[in-house]
Structures are given as structure tokens and as C-alpha cells.
Amino acid sequence: MRSIKQPGAPIVERIQWVEARGRAFSFTLQAGVPLLEAARRGFAAEGFAGGVLNFGSGALGPFAYVMPALSKTGENAAFYSDTFRPKGVTRTKLGSMTLGTRDGAPFFHCHGLWTEADGRASGGHMLPDETIVAEPFAVEAFGIDGAAFIAEPDTETNFKLFGPVVSALSGAHTTSRAFALRLRPNQDFAGCLEEFCRAQGIARAKIHGGVGSTVGARFTHGGVTEPFATELAITAGAIAPDASGALEAVLDVALIDYTGGIAEGRLIRGDNPVLMTMELVLEVLA
């Protein structure tokens, strides 16, 4: 399997996870408000400090983002491009967000694909402090109680990355058992989730959110992303028994690579290693 050497030694625990409670809900982001604050308000209205969300068509402006890029210093296996600030209103096609905390304040990690006002199709990593909701749009969220995503220094990748930690229960109304996860580098995305579910006795689960990167990508439709550095959003995902009864992770994703190549589709199991990180929430169905 493909792998990328990271600057630091591999951390023994390859999946960082916390069991929690959660609930799915939808809300509308307010226009004229920073995307970070609009998301925070939506979760807070339901009693949650954070969680994950997915969205389709939306409108952002002003808007700022970065794309994956090669590392210029060698301090990281890959890095970010300079900041892009497209003029006018950018129309999102899809996106996925993790809402948590960094340096004691709300923060998000958000990847998506979009079309800029001049018609250019692009994607990447949205910047929380420079992205404003231009028009109201709906999102599908999953709030978590008993766990929180906190950005902390990661010695393996030399980045400050979101990972789940235990948090005090807020008493928010929840309906489901859930697990907040962060997958570490150089392990197959699908296989890692299948192994985790087997270990936890989970027979069926739905993925909510899903923000991270893979070492290129191989799709079931035959598509291949060769450039190794990507920014990826999960568009749909589930783990369930296949015809033989074995657990199978079905992962539909969208990504952009460091050359600007855009790809969407279902990932091949066993051939899509994590590059830096993958954050998501598993809702236990059975």
C-alpha cells in the first residue's frame, strides 16, 4: 500500500477515539455571519458545543481558502498553498466540517468543492477567520456530547490537528451511541474503520462529517488521483455487513489534489491510505 514518510515517529495509537452520545439535526446558516460563528450558533441552539456537518449548495463571500501543496521546508510531508481570496460570491457544491476548539476558542476544519464567481471550479480547505455566509443555506449536522474535537500539536505530522477528547456532558438531547474518531496516517481508510467496528462490536454504522486527506486516491469507477497530497470531504459513508456477513465500509468522497485536480467517487477498499488525518463521527445503528 502507498505510504508517505511523516517527519515524526508513528504514534502507537493509530485511531484516536472517544465514545459519546449524539444526534442528527439540520439547520440553516445565517447570512452575513462568519461561517465559523454561523456553524457554532446552529450547534449551540441544539445544546451542542461541537460536532460535524455536511452541506451541498451554499453561498460564501467574502471567502478565503488554501489548497494542498508540496512542503517547501521539509518540516511536513505536505503543506498548504498561499491563500486564495476569490472575488464575488462563491457557490459551494459540497463540503464537510468538523467543529471543535483550537487555543480555547471555537474553530473548524472544513473541506469542500465549489465554483467561484468567474466560473472557476476549485476546492480545498476553507479559512474560518475569512469566510462569510453570503446567503442562508441548509446543513446536515451531527452534534456530539461527551466528546469534543480539540486541535493539539501532533508530533507525527508536525501539524496542529483536531482529535477527539473526552469532554463533560452538557445534557444535550441525544438519540444515538456515537464515536468521535481521528485516523492517523498510512493506514487504509476503509480497512481502519472496519477493524474499529469489529473491535467495538459495531454491526452497522453511519458516517457523519468526514474531513481529511488521503495519499492520492483510487476509485471503484476506475478513476485514479496520482498526486499524493489531497484535501478530502466524505459525501456519504456507512459500515455494514456485505453479502457474506463481513463488515464493509462504503466511502463516497470528493477531493482536490495539489495540482488542482478534482475527483469524486467511491473509494476502493484496501487501497486508500490516510495522508495526514481523517476526522469523522460514527453513529452506531446496530
Report the topology of domain 177-284.
Answer: 60s Ribosomal Protein L30; Chain: A; (3.30.1330)
Residue 173, pLDDT score: 98
Taking a C-beta distance cutoff of 8 angstroms, is the pair 260, 67 a contact?
Answer: yes
Confidence (pTM): 0.98
Which 8-state DSSP code applies to residue 136?
Answer: -
Domain 21-143 class?
A: alpha beta
pLDDT in tens, 17-75: 999 999 999 999 999 999 999 999 999 999 999 999 999 999 999 999 999 999 999 99
Helix (H, G, I), strand (E, B) or coil at 146: coil
Closest of 196, 193, 195, 210 to residue 253, by C-alpha: 210
**Other CB atoms within 10 Å distance of the CB of residue 115:** 17
Domain(s) labelled CATH 3.30.1330.80 in the chain stretch across: 21-143, 177-284
Mean residue pLDDT of the chain comes to: 98
Q: How far apart are CA 237 and CA 250, in angstroms?
A: 5
